Amino acid sequence: MNRLYEFDLSLCIRFNRISAYRSVEWLFRLISRLGDGVFWYSLMLTLPLVYGKPGWAATAHMLSAALPSLLIYRYLKRKTSRQRPCAVNPRIRQSTAPLDQFSFPSGHTLHAVCFTTVVYGHFPGTIWLLAPFSLLVALSRPILGLHYPSDVLAGAVIGLLVASLSRLVIPFS
């Protein structure tokens, strides 16, 4: 287990070094801020305008997937209480303020993957925009010193599972 932690930490340090470049740090701080919800709320408002009734269905699906995502995220944060890498290792520089105290899992990544999967299921043509944005959100977390790569991976897996299970309740159109 210790070897996995050391590997996770070494990857985190490597990702975080990229933030030493001010333009890269600025870009990933912007991506992170958009991933706080601004991008997703804007998308929820835009889908009905662009797609009409199917857009409303996709927005409702996103909202219905958001609730279990949030509940799982909050439960795991409290249960694991994993300290953020920037709080544990002085070699990792925090480039922006975290939304909460703990690291596991990455809520930004969880929601990005969940929402991308849901919207893709309704409108496959959106993947060219959503997949790169979600990838940048996921990368922003260790680059900004807020998450270990394993936090990001766990967030992505949980987001994919929630979105996939949500299809049982609300099928993709």
How many residues does the structure list for the chain? 173
- Strand, helix or coil for residue 83: strand
Place of tokens 């993709």: 172
Say what the pTM is.
0.93
Q: What angle do CA 68, 144, 46 make, to 5 degrees?
A: 50
How many folded domains does the chain comprise?
A: 1
pLDDT in tens, the chain (173 residues): 789 989 999 999 999 999 999 999 999 999 999 999 999 999 999 999 999 999 999 999 999 999 999 999 999 999 999 999 999 999 999 988 888 889 999 999 999 999 999 999 999 999 999 999 999 999 999 999 999 999 999 999 999 999 999 988 876 66
Domain that holds residue 6: 2-169
Query: Measured in Å, how far apart are the chain's first and last C-alpha atoms?
Result: 43
Phi, psi of 102 (to 5 degrees): -105, 165
| Cα distance between residue 27 and residue 46, in whole Å | 24
CATH code, 19 = 1.10.606.20
